[in-house]
Amino acid sequence: MGTRDKHMSYFQIQDKDLSYESIDGEVIVIHFNTGCYYSMTESAAHLWQRLQQPASLGDLHGCFTGAPEQISGGVAKFLGELTKEELVAEVPAPAELAGGVASILPPIPYSPVEFQKYTDMQELLLADPLHDVGEVGWPKLKE
């Protein structure tokens, strides 16, 4: 487990609009707001598991064994992408040292951290304003 530092940045999965499942080591995440879904394996899936609780960069680096520069570069890039996709966000430092998954997640050898993004559902899932409502109003559609 890492040490808590209230000045450090901590990151965590934003559960509010997400749903995720792990099947045979592969993680699938659906973002119900954007309509996108993501697939993660190996290093990415491992980091995703750790991010279920608040994690600092140091905590995330500790998920891997291997060359420190490779690990820090890969983790930073991955975290940036997850943040851009609104899958994780910066959160307040946790009140207590992380237990649970953080305490039992053993480090694994580092491999490039990547995820696949799928947008084929996006159009069909996004909010659809009733722009075809006629003068009489909903639910009378314009002819």
Residues that bind another protein (CB under 8 A): 16, 19, 21, 23-24, 26, 28, 30, 32, 37, 39, 118, 120-121, 124-130, 132-133, 137-139, 141
Minimum CB–partner distance for residue 113 and another protein (Å): 18
What DSSP letter does each residue of 55-116 carry, written as one string? EEHHHHHTTEES-HHHHHHHHHHHHHHHHHTTSEEEEPPPSS---THHHH---EE-----EE
Shortest reach from residue 122's CB to another protein, in Å: 10
Nearer to another protein, 92 or 137 (CB): 137
DSSP three-state, residue 14: coil
Q: Which is nearer to another protein, 95 or 136 (CB)?
A: 136
* Identity of the residue, 28 or 108, whose beta carbon is nearer to another protein in the bound complex: 28
Phi-psi region of 115 (alpha: psi -120 to 50; beta: other; left: phi over 0): beta
